[in-house]
Amino acid sequence: MTPPPELAPLEVSESPVDKFREYLEIRGEKLTEQRRKLVDHIFNSHKHFDADELVSDLRHSGSRVSRSTVYRTLRLMVDAGLLRELRLTNRTAYEHNYGYPSHDHMHCTGCGTIVEFRNDSIRRIREEIGDQFGFRADNHRFIITGMCPECLRARSRRRKLDQI
C-alpha cells in the first residue's frame, strides 16, 4: 500500500524559527535554547504529534526539555500561528499551521490513522453558514470518521476466518 500523498508545503518567506522569534520579540519574550529546539524538531518533519511524543522524541535525540516547557511552548506556538490544535481524542494533537495549506482530516476509528485532504467547497459552505447566522466564521474543523482501507481489509479477513 502506498502511503497517502502529503499535501505540498506552501512557499513562506520566513522560517518557522524566524516567525516565532518575531512573535516573541513583539511580546518582549525570549527565544531560548529549549524553544528553538522544539520549533526545529517540530518543523523537521510533517506529522501529527502530542506533548508526550515530543518529550520522548527529544529525550531520545539527546535534548532534554522538561514537560512543563513543552506544554508552555506548544501554547505559545499555537498563539504565534505556527501550530494548530486537533482534539480527536482525550489528548491534544498538534499539526503545522505555518507553511502548510489549510486542510481537513479523516480519522480511522480502527487504527487511529489521520489522513489529510483538501476540499475547497468546505470553506465556501463555512462562509455561507456564517452569513446565515450572523457569525464571523474564522475557522472550522471538518473531521470524517470511519474505517481506513487497511482496517476494512483486516476486518473482512477476520470475518472469513470466523466462518471456517
Partner DNA sequence: TTACATGCAAACACTTTGCAGCTGA
Partner DNA sequence: TCAGCTGCAAAGTGTTTGCATGTAA
The answer to whether 142 and 118 are in contact (CB under 8 A) is no
Q: Residue 155 belongs to what H/E stretch?
A: helix 149-162
Q: List contacts with DNA (CB under 7 A).
A: 24, 28-35, 50-52, 64-69, 71-73, 75, 90-92
Strand pairing partners for 93?
Answer: 50, 86
108 is in an annotated binding site: yes
For the bound state, the minimum distance from the C-beta of residue 91 to DNA, rounded and expressed in Å, comes to 4
Comparing CB distances to DNA, the nearer of 80 and 148 is 80
For the bound state, the minimum distance from the C-beta of residue 114 to a second copy, rounded and expressed in Å, comes to 12
Tally of CB atoms within 10 A around 137: 15
Q: List contacts with a second copy (CB under 8 A).
A: 4, 87-88, 106, 108-109, 115, 117, 119, 121-122, 125-126, 129-130, 132-149, 152
For the bound state, the minimum distance from the C-beta of residue 127 to DNA, rounded and expressed in Å, comes to 30
Q: How many CA atoms lie within 13 A of 28 on its CB side?
A: 0
Q: Which does 141 bind (CB under 5 to 8 A by kind): DNA, a second copy, none?
A: a second copy
Q: Which residues contact 37 (CB under 8 A, 6 or more apart)?
A: 58, 63, 65
Q: Binding site membership for Fe cation: which residues?
A: 104, 140
